Amino acid sequence: MRKRIIINKKDTTSTTETEYNTDDTDSNFQEGGKVEYTSIVNTSYRKPRYGSVQDNLTRDEILKRLDNYIPLQTTSEKKILTRLPYFKTWIKYFNTKTRQFRVGGLLMKVVYPDYIMLVNTAKNLTWSVQLKDNIIYIPEDIELKDANQIEKEKEKEKENDIKNKLFELYKSGQLVRKR
């Protein structure tokens, strides 16, 4: 069963809609199958005094966590991020400027060649990762979208945009139905 996910960005809160109904028992879902994600910048999160768990990982622990992951170092290698499935791909990264490894999150959005958006679905938090400053790690067994699939998604997105614009014109009275 596949989900279609639509992400609407408002200020620093993202709304995600699914194409099927969700039951009321899932605390992450609100009415209508929407999940609210908040940017980590807008939370009151403060790092612990002696650093977070990922700040204190040893070299061996980092290498163990990167087992079965492929590094993407160059800009051309990072283009593959545009073919990864959203909300199904766990991304890890290493910041080359601060020399810090991060355990990452699920891929939410790709704005190639600038940045990617990751999400922690357990805490409903999002953050961006600059592509130029980081080595990105993706799972080696990930299934990539093929060119036809990407093209179909773009066409469907354009079609939905046109439908939405026509509906807005109809609602505002600028478009009438002929009889």
| HSE of 113, CA atoms in CB hemisphere, 13 A | 10
The residues spanned by each domain of the chain are: 6-139, 146-179
Burial class of residue 101, CB neighbours in 10 A (0-12, 13-18, 19+): buried
pLDDT in tens, the chain (179 residues): 444 444 555 455 555 544 433 333 344 444 555 677 778 777 877 878 888 888 888 999 999 999 999 999 998 888 888 888 888 899 999 999 999 999 999 998 898 889 999 998 888 889 999 999 899 999 988 777 666 777 777 788 889 889 998 888 888 888 877 77
- Does the pTM exceed 0.75? no
Please give the Cα distance from 145 to 151 (Å, whole number). Answer: 10
Of 132, 133, 128, nearest to 97 by C-alpha is 133
Query: What is the C-alpha to C-alpha distance for residues 130 and 132, in angstroms, rounded to an integer?
Result: 6
